[in-house]
Structure 1
Amino acid sequence: MATAAQKICSRLSKSSVAFRFPSLLRSEVRNSKCHKYLQSRQISASPAVYGTIKLDMPSLSPTMEQGNIVKWHKKEGDTVSPGDVLCEIETDKAVISMDTEEEGILAKVIVPDNTKNVKVGTLIALMVEEGDDWKNVEIPAEAVKPAAAAGSAPSPATATSSTAQTAGGAAAHAGADLAGDGHLIGPSVKKLLQEYNIQASSVSPSGPGGALLKGDVLSYINTNKLDKKAQEAPSPAAPKLASTPPPPLAAPPVGPAAGENYVDIPLTNMRRVIAKRLTESKMTIPHAYATIDSNVGAIAELRETLKADGIKVSVNDFIIKASALALQRVPRINGIWENETLKLSPSVDISVAVATPSGLITPIVFGASYLSVDQIGNTVKELAGKAKEGKLQPHEYQGGSFSISNLGMFGISDFTAVINPPQVAIMAVGTSRSVASMSGNLSKMKVTLSYNSCAISEVEATRFLEEFRHLIEHPQTMLAGTNLDTAAEAFAF
C-alpha cells in the first residue's frame, strides 16, 4: 500500500494540476491514502504548498507577447469567486478585464498597477484557498529572482574612482549606459546628464516601465534652473597681473537646450505588433493588386430615399454588404492561408479597419452576407465605439475571412493595403470623385484588391471585383428580402 501511495504522490507533485485546480487537489489528496501516507511519514503538507494557485500573465490575443497591468480590482486578502474580475490588462489590441474560474483568496500581488511590458507567462499574483493563511503564502523563487538580482547589482557610481568624482562626475556618466534601476539610457539623455553633471538617480523617470526620458531630464534642468557652465569643474585660478580687471565680455545669447523642441512618444504595444505583422506580411506573402472603378451615384440616390423613410445607412455599409455578397459568389477569395493550403471559410466574416489612438484594429462583422444593410451599419457603429474606448473583447476582433480598409471619408482617392494574415485578401476603398462622361457627371469610386497570388489567381480576383462593381452600381439587389426592401421598392422599380 505504501508503494502505491508513493507513486500517486510522485505523480501529483509533478503535475501542474495541483496548482491550477486546487479544489481537485483537496478532494484527491487531503482525503486520500496519499495524504494519510504523508502524515504517517510526518511529511509537511502545508497550505502554502498544496493550496497555492499561480496566476500568470495570460495570452489574450494570438499576437500578444507582453502586456501592461493597468489596474487591480482585487486587493490582497480579498475573497475571489469564479467570474470575478481580478485586473485590467492592456494588450496589443485593447484593454481587457482578466477574470478567473478559481475560488479562494488573493494572497499576493506580485506585479502591481501600471506595470509595463509584462511578458506572457510571467507570474503576476498568487491565490490560496479559503481558510488558508494568505498572509504567509510562500512566494516562488522565480518571482523573487529578478528583484534580488537588481538589488545586488552595483550602481555605476560606486564603480567610479574618487579621483574621477572629484573632477566633476562627467567620466562616471560617460561609461554608464544603465540607470540605477537597470533601464537603458538613450544617447540624448546620456549627453544631457554629462553636460549638466546630473546623476540619473536624481531625476524621476516617466517612461514605459520606469525608463528615463529626455523630457524628464529637461524638466529637471528647467525646474532647478541649472546652467552648463555652473556645473563644470572650476579651472585653476590664474595669477593677477593687473589691479584693474578688464571689462567683461558680452555673454552670447542662450538658445534652447539640445532636444528641447522634441517630445519622445513611447511606442504602444498595438503599434509594435502592427509593425511586426505588416513587415512579416510583406516579406512572406506575394502581394498582387487589382483595381476597379465603380459608379456610386445609385447608392447616393437610394440613401436619400431611405433617409426620407427614417432609415440612415452609410456608403460604407453598402460597401460591406456588396463585398459579402461578392465573396459568396467568388468563395475562393473568402478563405485563409494556412500550412501552404487555402482553407475556404464557411461564413463571410468581414474585418473592418478602425483607427484608434493606440493604432489600427479590425473588429469583425460576422455573417455579413446574411445581415441587412442597416444591421451592418448598427454593428459597425457598436464595434467602432468599443474599439475607440479599448473595450473590444478578443472574440470581436480575432478571426475574420476578409478585410476592408476604407479611407474614403478622409479624402484619400486610392491606396493599397497590406494583407492581414492568415487572410488571403484585403480591399482598399478610396473616396468618390466626379468624372465627366457623355451622359453627364458620374460619381466614381476606386477600390484596390490586394491578394495572395499563391492562393488566388488573376481571374478570380477580377471576377470578385466585377461582382462587387455590379452590386455597387445596382444597390437595389442588396435590399431584396430585407426589411429595407419595401422602403426602397418605389425607387428600385
Structure 2
Amino acid sequence: MPTSVLMPPIGEDEDEEGIVTAWLVDDGDHVDADQLIATIQVEKVAADVEAPVAGVVRGLVELNEPVPQGAPICEVHEVSDGVSAPMDTSDAGPSEQRHDEPARVVASPAAKRVARELGVDLTTVHGSGPDGRITEADVAEAVGSVSTGGELEGLRGVIARNMLESARSTAPVTLTTTVDVTGSLPDRVTPRILKAVALALIDHPRINGVRDGDRFVPGGSPDIALAIQTDEGLVAPVVRSPADRSLDEIAVDVESLAERARSRTLSMEDYRGATFTVTNLGSFGIEAFTPIINLPQIAILGVGAIRTVPGFDASGAVVARREMTLSLTFDHAFVDGAPAAGFLAHLRGMLEAS
C-alpha cells in the first residue's frame, strides 16, 4: 500500500486549508525516509514536509492549490508495492525514450533550498548550468524578474484568503476610544499594552475566547497574538500569559518573536492558542483604523500613534497632553456592544493609570 503524505494540521480551525509552496522532488523521484520533499504553508506558518518512508513519490498536488489539513499532498510508493525507481535511460536509443513523461527539473541543492525559502516553482526557472541544471543564481534572477501581476501566492495568498473569510463570516463592529497617556506609557509601549489587555480580558471573559462554528469557547489565561509586519506579509505569533509576567519578560518575548518572524523561523507552536490579537500601526503615524478579526478569535485591538494635543489642567490652563486612540473590532454575532464597550473602557482606565 502506498503511504499518503498529509497536509499537517497547523491552524486552530479544523477546516483550515494549506498550500504547497515548493516541491523539492519531482514526480517519480526516489526518496529516503525523513528526506525533505516539500514546503507547505498553513495560516501564516511555513513548514517543511518529510517523506515518512523510503520509496517513489507520486501524485504531487499543484503548487499554491488549497489542500484541506489532513488531506494527502502526495504518496510514497515503496518498491515492494510494485513501483520502481526511475531507470537510467542515458544509454537508451531514440526509439526507447519515453515522450509522455514531464521533463525532470535538475537543480543544485543550494538552488532547491533557495527556491523553497522563496516559494519559487523550479519548473518555471531556466537553468544556466551544465545540461540545463538550475543554479542558486538562476533562482535569484527568476525572483527578480517575476511580474507583479497574476494570482496571489504564498503568504500573501494565505493572508488574502484569511481576511476574506473573516469579512465573510463575521459581523464586525469597531469601537474607538481616546486614552490620555500624558503621565503613563513612558516606554515599552507594546509590553504595557499586552499586559493591560490580558488583565482586562480576565475581567471580561466574554471577549476572551474563540468561536467554534456557532459556539463560543471561553479561553483560560489569555494568550495574545501580536501582529508583526515582515517582508513577506503580516504574521501574528503568540505572546504567552502576559498577565502573569513582568514587562521585562514580555519585552524579551516580543523582541524574540519579531526577530524570528522576520527571519521566517517561527514554529507552528508559535501561532497556536491565542484568544485575542493586538495590532499596532502607531509607528506609521496612523491614529485610528479598523482591524480585521483574526479567526477563530472574536475580537482584535488596533493601537494608534501617540500624539501631542492641547488640553487643560485642573486650573483651566492650556497644557500639552499625549493621547492615543484604541480601536476594538469585535464580532457582534458573539459579543454585544455593551460588554465590548465595557472591556474597552476598562482597558483605557488601566493604561491611563499605568
User: Cα–Cα, structure 1 residues 135 and 459, in superposed 2: closer, same or farther, change >3 Å?
Assistant: closer
Indicate the structure whose relative CO is greater, using CA pairs within 8 Å and at least 6 residues apart: 2
Matched residue type, 2:326: V
TM-score computed with the length of structure 2 as normaliser = 0.71
Matched residue type, 1:340: D
Q: Secondary structure at the match of 1:472?
A: helix
Q: Distance in 2 between matches of 1:409 and 1:320?
A: 16
- The corresponding residue for 2:136 is none
After superposition, the C-alpha distances for 1:178-198 in whole angstroms (9 at most, x for unaligned) are xx99xxxxxxxxxxxxxxxxx
Q: Distance in 2 between matches of 1:284 and 1:118?
A: 22
- The corresponding residue for 2:240 is 366
Q: Kindly state the Cα deviation for residue 328 of structure 1 after the two structures are TM-superposed.
A: 0.8
Q: Kindly state the Cα deviation for residue 209 of structure 1 after the two structures are TM-superposed.
A: 7.5
Matched residue type, 1:329: D
- The corresponding residue for 1:334 is 208
Q: Kindly state the Cα deviation for residue 329 of structure 1 after the two structures are TM-superposed.
A: 1.2
Q: In the comparison of the two structures, how many residue pairs are matched?
A: 292
1:322 to 187, 191, 196: 196
- The corresponding residue for 1:288 is 173
- The corresponding residue for 1:269 is 154
1:460 to 318, 333, 339: 339
- The corresponding residue for 1:136 is 84
Q: Secondary structure at the match of 2:296?
A: coil
- CA RMSD in angstroms, aligned pairs only: 3.5
- The corresponding residue for 1:438 is 312
Matched residue type, 1:463: G
Q: Secondary structure at the match of 1:332?
A: coil
TM-score computed with the length of structure 1 as normaliser = 0.52
After superposition, the C-alpha distances for 1:268-323 in whole angstroms (9 at most, x for unaligned) are 2322232222223223311112111112233344x3xxxxxxxxxx2111111111
User: Is the CA contact (8 Å cut-off) linking 1:107 and 1:134 kept in structure 2?
Assistant: no
Asked if 1:472 is matched to 2:317, the reply is no
Matched residue type, 1:457: D
What is the percent sequence identity of the aligned residues? 26
Q: Kindly state the Cα deviation for residue 428 of structure 1 after the two structures are TM-superposed.
A: 0.7
1:108 to 56, 78, 83: 56
User: Cα–Cα, structure 1 residues 107 and 448, in superposed 2: closer, same or farther, change >3 Å?
Assistant: same
Structure 1 segments unaligned to the other structure (5+ residues) = 1-18, 20-51, 139-149, 153-179, 182-205, 213-259, 304-313, 476-493
Q: Kindly state the Cα deviation for residue 348 of structure 1 after the two structures are TM-superposed.
A: 0.3
After superposition, the C-alpha distances for 1:420-470 in whole angstroms (9 at most, x for unaligned) are 222111111100000111222111000110111122122211211122112
User: Cα–Cα, structure 1 residues 443 and 389, in superposed 2: closer, same or farther, change >3 Å?
Assistant: same
- The corresponding residue for 2:22 is 69
Q: Distance in 1 between matches of 2:206 and 2:308?
A: 33
User: Is the CA contact (8 Å cut-off) linking 2:18 and 2:40 kept in structure 1?
Assistant: no
Q: Distance in 1 between matches of 2:30 and 2:153?
A: 33
Q: Distance in 2 between matches of 1:473 and 1:267?
A: 42
Q: Distance in 2 between matches of 1:378 and 1:404?
A: 17
After superposition, the C-alpha distances for 1:221-243 in whole angstroms (9 at most, x for unaligned) are xxxxxxxxxxxxxxxxxxxxxxx
Q: Secondary structure at the match of 1:273?
A: helix
User: Cα–Cα, structure 1 residues 419 and 382, in superposed 2: closer, same or farther, change >3 Å?
Assistant: same
Q: Distance in 1 between matches of 2:232 and 2:218?
A: 32
Asked if 1:346 is matched to 2:220, the reply is yes
After superposition, the C-alpha distances for 1:76-131 in whole angstroms (9 at most, x for unaligned) are 66653xxx45345131423312246x5x5x2224478xx733653445352649xx
User: Cα–Cα, structure 1 residues 375 and 87, in superposed 2: closer, same or farther, change >3 Å?
Assistant: farther
Q: Distance in 2 between matches of 1:453 and 1:344?
A: 16
Return the structure number with greater strand share.
2
User: Is the CA contact (8 Å cut-off) linking 1:116 and 1:209 kept in structure 2?
Assistant: no
Q: Secondary structure at the match of 1:464?
A: helix
After superposition, the C-alpha distances for 1:129-182 in whole angstroms (9 at most, x for unaligned) are 9xx6998369xxxxxxxxxxx949xxxxxxxxxxxxxxxxxxxxxxxxxxx99x
- The corresponding residue for 1:423 is 297
Asked if 1:117 is matched to 2:64, the reply is yes
Q: Distance in 2 between matches of 1:418 and 1:340?
A: 19
Larger Rg: 1
2:259 to 380, 385, 390: 385
